[in-house]
């Protein structure tokens, strides 16, 4: 084939970190049939006590354990990049057979990236298509505007991005969808993760409590992160509060799915107020952008007040939800 572009959706339900933006952009490329399985996952946030991370705790990289993707990993010595035609042929065959190729590439050589021609920065990029006539790959990652999306890179530039990364070898992580995978909602799995979230449990993750906070404690740590920023010239990390907003959006959708499909008993109107947690987290996200421009401490105080409301809503609504889950 002269040209292949495998299906991809750059606006999956959540996309704040590549660990889930990449697999979800593939599974949501055709339709929303994966939604029931989505609601089983992406429940547990994690943060480091030194404020250096706030993100999704992940114990199923690229949804392999769930059976969504088959992942093959090829670790190859960089001298093979001199055999350009052979590597290109390998990539073409993988893409023609509905594969996606994830690599750690130096974005100094990748157009439409903040690091392009400016500084060395190794980052994940997903190859999802090619055009032999134009000598280009289609690749996906976070672009220079900060949003997840697709862009083009010439074959030669792509090889340079592989050749000049920090590693002695280059790695192809080859993702292929499992055709007979059937998405389904698992109430036991979901309620177990929700309980772990509410009680900040580390039952499913091999990480130290000495260094990390889990679940709602990780969200509470954002309050102290904001406190830590006060009196400094530091900017707030946009990713943390974008992730918080995505987490509340997905939690709201999860609760709505559970109430509409008979997984929860009692007065279902009680759960409508969780929409306020989504609104509050969106306001926090917008306020941080203002703070990073103005550095007004009053903005930080408002963010902290809103965050307290989000946490209180979590504790009340999710606690109530867990008490009223119906066994099926």
Q: Of 43, 40, 19, 57, whose CA–CA distance to 209 is shortest? A: 57
The least confident of 57-71, 89-103, 137-151, 196-210 is: 196-210
Contact 150, 3 (CB under 8 A): no
Q: Which residue has the higher pLDDT, 267 or 221?
A: 221
pLDDT > 70 in the chain, percent: 98
- pLDDT value of residue 268: 84
* Residue located via tokens 């029931």: 36
Q: What's this model's pTM, rounded to 2 decimal places?
A: 0.94
Whether residue 205 is predicted with pLDDT greater than 70 in this model: the reply is: no
| Confidence at 270, pLDDT banded by 50, 70, 90 | confident
Cα 133–Cα 152–Cα 3 angle in degrees, nearest 5: 35
Write the pLDDT tens digit of every residue in 58-115: 778 999 999 999 999 999 999 999 999 999 999 999 999 999 999 999 999 999 999 9
CA distances from 166 to 18, 110, 127 (A): 19, 15, 19
Q: What is the CA radius of gyration of the chain?
A: 21
Whether the pLDDT of residue 307 is over 70: the answer is yes
The pairing of beta strand 212-214 with beta strand 45-48: antiparallel
pLDDT at 164: 98
How far, in Å, CA of 76 to CA of 43, rounded?
35
Question: If pLDDT is split at 50, 70 and 90, which confidence band does 134 have?
Answer: very high
Q: What is the pLDDT of residues 220-261, one digit of tens each?
A: 999 999 999 998 999 999 999 999 999 999 999 999 999 999
Indicate whether 207 pLDDT > 70. no
Sorted by sequence, the CB contacts under 8 Å of residue 77 that are 6+ apart come out as: 168, 169
Per-residue HEC secondary structure of the chain comes to: CCEEECCCCCCCCCCCCHHHHHHHHHHCCCCCCCHHHHCCCCCCEEEECCCCCEEECCCCHHHCCCCCEEEEEEEEEHHHHHCHHHHHHHHHHHHHCCCEEEEEEEHHHCCCCCCCCCCCCEEEEEEEEEECCCCEEEEEEECCCCCEEEEEEEHHHHHHHHHCCCCCEEEEEEEEECCCCCCCCCHHHHHHHHHHHHCCCCCCCCCCCCCEEECHHHHHHHHHHHHHHCCCCCCCCHHHHHHHHHHHHHHHHHHHHHHHCCCECCCHHHHHHHHHHHHHHHHHHHHHHHHHHHCCHHHHHHHHHHHHHHHHHHHHHHHHHHHCECCC
Q: What average pLDDT does range 120-130 have in this prediction?
A: 98
Domain boundaries defined on the chain = 3-32+69-177, 187-323
Q: What is the pLDDT of residue 309?
A: 98
């Amino acid at each position: 084939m002269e040209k292949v572009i495998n299906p991809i959706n750059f606006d999956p339900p959540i996309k704040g970190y590549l660990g889930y933006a990449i697999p979800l952009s593939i599974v949501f490329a055709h339709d929303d049939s994966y939604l029931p399985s989505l609601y089983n996952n992406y429940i547990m946030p994690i943060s480091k006590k030194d404020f250096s991370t706030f993100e999704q705790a992940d114990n199923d990289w690229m949804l392999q354990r769930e059976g969504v993707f088959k992942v093959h990993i090829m670790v190859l010595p960089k001298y093979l990049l001199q055999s350009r035609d052979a590597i290109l042929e390998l990539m073409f065959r993988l893409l023609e057979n509905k594969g996606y190729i994830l690599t750690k590439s130096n974005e100094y050589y990748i157009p439409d990236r903040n690091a392009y021609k400016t500084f060395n920065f190794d980052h994940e990029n997903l190859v999802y298509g090619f055009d032999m006539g134009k000598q280009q790959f289609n690749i996906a990652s976070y672009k220079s505007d900060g949003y997840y999306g697709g862009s083009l890179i010439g074959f030669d530039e792509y090889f340079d991005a592989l050749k000049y990364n920090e590693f002695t070898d280059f790695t192809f992580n080859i993702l292929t969808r499992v055709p007979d995978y059937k998405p389904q909602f698992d109430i036991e799995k979901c309620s177990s993760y929700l309980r772990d979230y509410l009680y900040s449990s580390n039952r499913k993750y091999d990480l130290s409590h000495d260094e990390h906070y889990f679940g709602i404690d990780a969200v509470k740590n954002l309050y102290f992160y904001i406190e830590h920023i006060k009196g400094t010239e530091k900017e707030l990390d946009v990713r943390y509060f974008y992730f918080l907003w995505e987490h509340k959006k997905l939690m709201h959708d999860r609760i709505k799915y559970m109430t509409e499909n008979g997984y929860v008993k009692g007065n279902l109107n009680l759960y409508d107020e969780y929409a306020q947690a989504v609104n509050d987290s969106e306001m926090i996200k917008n306020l941080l952008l203002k703070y990073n421009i103005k550095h007004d401490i009053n903005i930080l105080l408002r963010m902290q007040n809103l965050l307290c409301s989000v946490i209180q809503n979590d504790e009340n609504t999710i606690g109530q939800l867990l008490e009223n889950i119906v066994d099926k």
